[in-house]
Amino acid sequence: MDLALKAIAEPRRREILRLVWTSELAATDIASHFDDVTRSAISQHLGVLRRAKLVAERRDGNRRLYRANPEELVALRTFLERYWASGLERLQDAAEAAQRIKEM
C-alpha cells in the first residue's frame, strides 16, 4: 500500500491515472497531454505507477499500452475509506468524551 500512496502523491501521476481510467493509452498519447513534462519523465511516472500496480502495461509491437488496474485501485480506495472512517470515529469518540465531561 505504501507504494500506491507514494505514487498518487504526485499530481502528474494522478492525472495519468485519470487518463487511463476508462481506456488504454499508449505512452506517447499519455505524454501528449503534458506540455511541461518530457516523454522520459512520463515514462518514469508510468514506471512508478506500474510498480505500485496502479496501472497495467501491455505491449503491442513496439508500443506500450497502459490502463488503470481497477483491482488495485479498489484496494487503495478501501484502505483510504477505512483510514478516513477510523479518523472520524476517533473524532466522534473525543467529542462524546468531552460532552460527558462537560455534563458532569
Higher-confidence residue of 66 and 101: namely 66
pLDDT tens, 41-96?
999 999 999 999 999 999 999 999 999 999 999 999 888 887 666 666 766 766 77
What end-to-end distance do the CA atoms of the chain give, in Å? 44
| pTM (predicted TM-score) | 0.78
What DSSP line would sit under 11-64, residue for residue? Answer: HHHHHHHHHTSSS-EEHHHHHTT-SSS-HHHHHHHHHHHHHTTSEEEEEETTEE
pLDDT tens, 1-41?
889 999 999 999 999 999 999 999 999 999 999 999 999 99
pLDDT tens, 35-47?
999 999 999 999 9
Q: Which CATH architecture does the domain made up of 2-103 adopt?
A: Orthogonal Bundle (1.10)
Write down the domain spans for the chain: 2-103
- Contact status, residue 30 vs residue 19, Cβ threshold 8 Å: yes
